[in-house]
């Protein structure tokens, strides 16, 4: 019997549409001989749907009118079942064996979805809550990477309330960091709310802009003579494999939302391929190339990642300093085009990550997670409990 894979996509983030594109393409490339695909779409109102229509790109032209069945994913006995969300009868629509989250951004990719899947106990592809949430927080990921001696840019961070109560101190800290700086909401993506600040005259406005999107703000030193490169990784605790390195093709001093989404062939263009978004392989010295490969593996381990991740690197072309900018724990197009020049087709990449997840799940099932004995079996009721407390 074929393994049934529930591909979960959409969700409430700004990258909703990109997730649909990535997922529909992945569902096309998963080996249909081996696997049965069950599409599971989360709309912007966080409702879950399934149905054959969700396999086709045309179905998403009008996101308010998608023809599919509203469902919930539950555990029933030892099975994971999609049941009809509406109506008195909890009609079972489909069972799945494995979940494949293909979601981007806050509220889904940040560990929320892994947490839900973990709670019901279904095996799922990709990072656990820890890896996924580290992947979303630009501050904590830097703190963790730094503690493992992985180079990141200098930065400061604060909450909006701290800024409002202590502007003077925070502005002094920014000055000490040294202009120009980049101001970012700490837990967003897609370059939203990010401002390049050349001097003190622009800083307050940039912080206010970032505060429109997040309570937590990070301000980073700007890497001069910037070259942005990316390296994708597939792996788990045991084995980590890197892709070729890609070089970002942009004329802007930093990548804007427009570069990423609205330009022809941008990083996450609607085409979901690599038409001019990256130059692969990147034109790098062997020394820098090796450094990036080594750092990708180390950062993947350090941040507790799993599945397929794409790392952004910032390279200073003059000094040759390399910094890990951030991981993208569920990258656009699953970064497949970084692997194809290595001879790994998209279908093989998907097969590898599915097999790896199923093997890991089997292995983890052997770990002890609870004890046979029930400590409550000797519980004497509320009196006994009270008695014990008094005795103490
Ligand atoms: N410290 C930095 N120095 C120079 N450019 C930067 C720096 N940080 C970010 N950038 C530029 O800003 C873009 C967006 O920043 P990034 O941290 O990747 O945010 P996002 O999560 O929105 O992708 C990067 O792709 C890069 O072009
Ligand atoms: Mg980025």
Contact 136/216 with Cβ under 8 angstroms? Answer: no
Architecture of domain 154-221 in this structure: 2-Layer Sandwich (3.30)
Q: Say yes or no: domain 3-124 is CATH 3.40.50.20.
A: yes
pLDDT in tens, 289-319: 999 999 999 999 999 999 999 999 999 999 9
Q: Which positions ≥6 away from 299 have C-beta within 8 Å?
A: 145, 150, 311, 324, 327
Structure tokens at 68: 């599919």
pLDDT in tens, 209-219: 999 999 999 99
Residue 72: name the closest of 93, 97, 45, 43 by CA.
93
pLDDT in tens, 88-136: 777 999 999 999 999 998 899 999 999 999 999 999 999 999 999 999 9
Task: Look at the domain 143-149+224-359 and name its fold.
Answer: D-amino Acid Aminotransferase; Chain A, domain 1 (3.30.470)
Distance (Å, rounded) from C-alpha 374 to C-alpha 389?
21
Substitution site in 15, 312, 326 for ligand 1 pocket (most atoms within 8 Å of beta carbon): 312
Domain ranges of the chain: 3-124, 143-149+224-359, 154-221
Distance, CA 30 to ligand 1 centroid (Å)?
32
Which phi and psi angles does 266 have, rounded to 5°? -65, 180
Substitution site in 191, 257, 315 for ligand 1 pocket (most atoms within 8 Å of beta carbon): 191
Instruction: Determine the distance from the C-alpha atom of residue 359 to the mean position of all C-alpha atoms in its chain, rounded to a whole number.
Output: 22
Residue 320 scores a pLDDT above 50: yes
182 lines ligand 1 (CB under 6 A): yes
Number of the ligand closest to the Cα of 184: 1
Distance (Å, rounded) from C-alpha 356 to C-alpha 360?
6
Helix ranges (DSSP H) in 178-216 = 203-211
pLDDT of residue 391: 45
Distance, CA 261 to ligand 2 centroid (Å)?
12
Q: Which positions ≥6 away from 208 have C-beta within 8 Å?
A: none
Q: Which residue has the tokens 């690599």?
A: 274
pLDDT in tens, 20-79: 999 999 999 999 999 999 999 999 999 999 999 999 999 999 998 889 999 999 999 999
Contact 72/93 with Cβ under 8 angstroms? Answer: no
191 lines ligand 1 (CB under 6 A): yes
- Angle at CA 60, nearest 5°, toward 39 and 9? 35
């Amino acid at each position: 019997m074929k393994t049934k894979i529930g591909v979960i996509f959409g969700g409430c983030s700004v990258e909703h549409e990109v997730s649909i594109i990535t997922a529909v393409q992945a569902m096309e490339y998963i080996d249909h001989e081996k696997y049965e695909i069950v599409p599971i779409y989360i709309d912007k109102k966080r409702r879950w749907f399934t149905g054959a229509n969700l396999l086709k790109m045309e179905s998403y032209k009008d996101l308010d009118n998608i023809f599919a069945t509203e469902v919930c994913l539950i555990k029933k006995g030892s099975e994971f079942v999609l049941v009809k969300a509406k109506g008195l009868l909890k009609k079972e629509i489909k069972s799945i064996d494995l979940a494949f989250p293909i979601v981007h951004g806050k509220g889904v990719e940040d560990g929320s979805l892994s947490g839900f899947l973990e709670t019901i106990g279904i095996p799922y592809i990709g990072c656990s809550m820890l890896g996924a949430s580290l992947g979303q927080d630009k501050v904590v990921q830097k703190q963790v990477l730094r503690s493992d001696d992985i180079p990141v840019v200098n930065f400061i961070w604060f909450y909006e309330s701290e800024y409002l109560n202590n502007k003077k101190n925070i502005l002094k800290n920014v000055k000490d960091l040294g202009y120009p700086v980049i101001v970012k909401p700490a837990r967003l993506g897609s370059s939203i709310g990010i401002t390049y600040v050349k001097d003190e005259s622009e800083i307050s406005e940039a912080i206010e802009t970032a505060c429109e999107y997040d309570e937590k703000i990070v301000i980073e030193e700007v890497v001069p003579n910037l070259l942005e490169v990316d390296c994708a990784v597939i792996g788990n605790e045991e084995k980590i494999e890197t892709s070729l390195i890609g070089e970002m093709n942009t004329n802007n001093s930093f990548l804007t939302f427009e570069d990423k989404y609205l330009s022809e062939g941008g990083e996450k263009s609607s085409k979901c391929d690599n038409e001019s978004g990256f130059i692969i392989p990147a034109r790098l010295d062997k020394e820098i190339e090796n450094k990036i490969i080594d750092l990708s593996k180390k950062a993947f381990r350090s941040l507790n990642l799993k599945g397929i991740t794409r790392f952004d690197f910032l390279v200073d072309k003059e000094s040759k300093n390399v910094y890990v900018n951030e991981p993208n724990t569920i990258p656009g197009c699953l970064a497949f085009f970084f692997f194809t020049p290595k001879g790994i087709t998209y279908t093989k990449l998907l097969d590898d990550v599915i097999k790896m997840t199923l093997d890991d799940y089997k292995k983890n099932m052997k770990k002890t997670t609870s004890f046979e004995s029930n400590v409550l079996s000797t519980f004497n009721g509320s009196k006994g409990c009270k008695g014990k407390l008094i005795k103490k």
